Structure 1
Amino acid sequence: MSSIQTMHAHPGAAPHGQALPASLVLLLATGAGLSVASLYYAQPMLGVLGADIGASARAVGFIPTLTQLGYALGILLLAPLGDRFDRRRIVLIKAAALCAALLVAGAAPSIGVLLAASLAIGLAATMAQDIVPAAATLAPEASRGKTVGTVMTGLLLGILLSRVVSGFVAEHFGWRAMFIAAAASIALIGAAAWRGLPRFRPTTHLAYGALLGSLGTLWSRHGTLRRAALAQALLAVGFSAFWSTLAVMLHGEPFHLGSAAAGAFGLAGAAGALAAPLAGRLADRRGP
């Protein structure tokens, strides 16, 4: 079903030719930012967390590794469900799962439980990958790039500022408090999505296996898609390698800096997120 048909089918979506309501765009941007932030809260806290829970640096290093692995598996195995089922329902289910996983992480008595919770956090945080397509589906074609750019700004700010927030909270209130606060934020977003997000009609009736099989067809057919995926993979490797080691290095010799200092490095990258709406407007005018 086309995005225009979808907009007419859903109360709260913009009529043809009109921009989405600002409240809905804000909900989508905030939801994307807070859900993806869950992937990165742990990174500035790794040094403090490891010392508190009695885990080695090697074991603690598996926390961001399993979180990112869960995220990758979630994108591969769960994101295609947005074509098969009501995307609103998927967002609500993932919000509940993410809230539960964050609470388990905050109460984890051992590194083993924390590692399992980290994998679950990664899987459930893919609700961000349902929110961005929802924005693209709901927005009218004339302002789609701007709308998606605004939602992507929320997502990128969530990635970058999550470290600043978690570093501060961990240093002053403890790392467990950060996971509990994150769970509360996701619960609020879930409640807001239940009230404010319209329903989506499925765009396909393919079985789950056929949906996954279609990914291979897309990969083999579209060279542009392969190049984009490779570029994103290389960016993610560099990005994660830096952030996953920074906090541990700053915590030890010769720096002896706390989690707040590690998180403050996120401020340097936050400016880049503000360019996303500009890129979206440029895409509206000149094409992606």
Structure 2
Amino acid sequence: MNTTTSPRAVSRWVIFMLALGAGFSVASIYYAQPLLPLMGSDLHLSIEGMGMVPTLTQAGYAFGILFLLPLGDRHDRRTLILIKSAALALFLLGCSLTGQLHSLLLASLLIGMAATMAQDIVPAAAILAPEGQQGKTVGTVMTGLLLGILLSRTVSGVVGEAFSWRLMYQLAAASIASVGVVMWAVLPRFAVHSTLSYPALMHSMAHLWRRYPALRRAALAQGFLSIAFSAFWSTLAVMLLERYHMGSAVAGGFGIAGAAGALTAPLAGGLADRLGAGKVTQLGAALVTVSFALMFAMPWLSVYGQLALIAVSAVGFDLGLQSSLVAHQNLVYSLEPQARGRLNAVLFTVVFIGMALGSAAGSKIYTLAGWSGVVALATLCGGIALAIRLIENARVASAQADVA
């Protein structure tokens, strides 16, 4: 085990393992989405009851980011990652054994909180990155994270349909236990950047929110993109079952299409390094908005055309969301490098509040207005995020012109 306290010079192998760890851990909060019809059938759940599973998982993630992630500035990140990996494996196993809605929802909440180890890994990668390559390195780890989000749906859909949703959660528990062993083997120890008490850390996050307008706008823009993203993925499996009579494996298969967008994360990070994070966030939000708006054309297409359009839109909005997220992280991390953990906590708290709202609102709107209502919600939220970025970038350009 490497015990260095100055982990700047690390191998690409360690960065790759960080990407792998981020992917497996964050996948834990998305396995449920294509499995919702199977869970509903097994536990006799309504559509709203099924929708509460991803809602509470993502709410748990938001709570974990807000209340646990700041500890990364106060304690060794390696220790935090190892503790969370053990807890997450146990919670996933417990979820596979549940027999009623209330215990399923409790397990989902706890899974979300423990899965925040992924967000301990991302700032760790920023610390380990060579000088001048922070955007690219964070982008590489974010590739693993988003591939975990998207391919988790594919894997869980196939495993759930072939075997059961319970086996999927047991396999997930085993994967996280393995990740914990790998993290123990490859991670160096990290220097502690703050001696603040826990209450002082929490108070300092409110101070960071007030101090940096760029942080507030980045969090809000990414939060609205997350509402759109989550509304789509939380209702896709139910829509495919009701409209096309397709099972969880097909729903998960759309994750492969979305994964194509994840592969651009290093490119998005490199573009943020060269062109500026603001420009990349603007382009990403525009791509998300256009991709969702394309689905308004579904009523005029054949069945195969509709399914193809959903796949194309998934590639587009996942690419836009990922590009925007990497650029927003690059922007936020540069505000105050010694407070990366807390800055990351603020950003991702808002992101996963958006995810939870998207799951809840998506399920409700689908019940009331069908798939077209979900598409309208997603397009509107993408448009709001784009407006935030356009206003912010115009403000920055104006300020730079005044200085010049």
TM-score range relative to shorter protein: over 0.9
Choose which of 205, 212, 216 in structure 1 pairs with 2:202: 212
* Cα drift, residue 286 of structure 1: 4.2
Residues 33-62 of structure 1 show CA distances to partners (whole Å, capped at 9, x for unaligned) of 111111100000001111012222221211
C-alpha separation between the residues in 2 aligned to 1:280 and 1:237?
A: 23
Residues 244-280 of structure 1 show CA distances to partners (whole Å, capped at 9, x for unaligned) of 111122223x322110011111122111111110122
Partner secondary structure for residue 109 of structure 1: coil
Alignment of 1:93-104 (within 5 A): 93-104=83-94
Query: Could you tell me whether the CA contact under 8 Å between 1:48 and 1:258 is conserved in 2?
Result: no
Choose which of 5, 10, 33 in structure 2 pairs with 1:9: 5
Choose which of 23, 27, 35 in structure 2 pairs with 1:37: 27
* Cα drift, residue 211 of structure 1: 0.5
C-alpha separation between the residues in 2 aligned to 1:264 and 1:27?
A: 25
Alignment of 1:49-128 (within 5 A): 49-128=39-118
Match of 1:165 in 2: 155
C-alpha separation between the residues in 2 aligned to 1:283 and 1:244?
A: 30
* Cα drift, residue 285 of structure 1: 3.3
C-alpha separation between the residues in 2 aligned to 1:9 and 1:62?
A: 42
Q: How many percent of aligned residue pairs carry the same amino acid?
A: 60
C-alpha separation between the residues in 2 aligned to 1:8 and 1:147?
A: 20
1:221 correspondence with 2:211 = yes
Match of 1:48 in 2: 38
Structure 1 unaligned blocks of 5 or more: 1-6
Match of 2:263 in 1: 274
1:230 maps to a residue whose letter is L
Query: Could you tell me whether the CA contact under 8 Å between 2:97 and 2:166 is conserved in 1?
Result: yes
More helix by share: 2
C-alpha separation between the residues in 1 aligned to 2:5 and 2:233?
A: 43
C-alpha separation between the residues in 2 aligned to 1:140 and 1:199?
A: 17
* Cα drift, residue 236 of structure 1: 1.0
Residues 204-263 of structure 1 show CA distances to partners (whole Å, capped at 9, x for unaligned) of 0101111111111111111110110001110111111111111122223x3221100111
C-alpha separation between the residues in 2 aligned to 1:204 and 1:225?
A: 20
Moved over 6 A (4+): none
* Cα drift, residue 96 of structure 1: 0.7
Alignment of 1:128-147 (within 5 A): 128-147=118-137
* Cα drift, residue 139 of structure 1: 1.4
C-alpha separation between the residues in 1 aligned to 2:276 and 2:250?
A: 40
Query: Could you tell me whether the CA contact under 8 Å between 2:4 and 2:189 is conserved in 1?
Result: no
* Cα drift, residue 116 of structure 1: 0.5
Structure 2 unaligned blocks of 5 or more: 278-404
Change (3 A) 1:258 1:209: same
Alignment of 1:249-264 (within 5 A): 249-252=239-242, 254-264=243-253
1:263 maps to a residue whose letter is G
- Alignment: residue pair count: 275
* Cα drift, residue 287 of structure 1: 4.5
2:258 maps to a residue whose letter is G
Residues 88-124 of structure 1 show CA distances to partners (whole Å, capped at 9, x for unaligned) of 0000011011101100111111111111000001101
Partner secondary structure for residue 202 of structure 1: coil
1:33 maps to a residue whose letter is G
C-alpha separation between the residues in 2 aligned to 1:114 and 1:91?
A: 24
C-alpha separation between the residues in 1 aligned to 2:33 and 2:211?
A: 37
CA RMSD of aligned residues (A): 1.4
Higher relative contact order (CA 8 A, sep 6+): 1
C-alpha separation between the residues in 1 aligned to 2:270 and 2:231?
A: 31
1:283 correspondence with 2:272 = yes
C-alpha separation between the residues in 1 aligned to 2:137 and 2:224?
A: 26
C-alpha separation between the residues in 2 aligned to 1:226 and 1:14?
A: 29
1:151 correspondence with 2:141 = yes
2:154 maps to a residue whose letter is V
Query: Could you tell me whether the CA contact under 8 Å between 2:92 and 2:111 is conserved in 1?
Result: yes
- TM-score normalised by structure 1 residue count: 0.92
Partner secondary structure for residue 222 of structure 2: helix
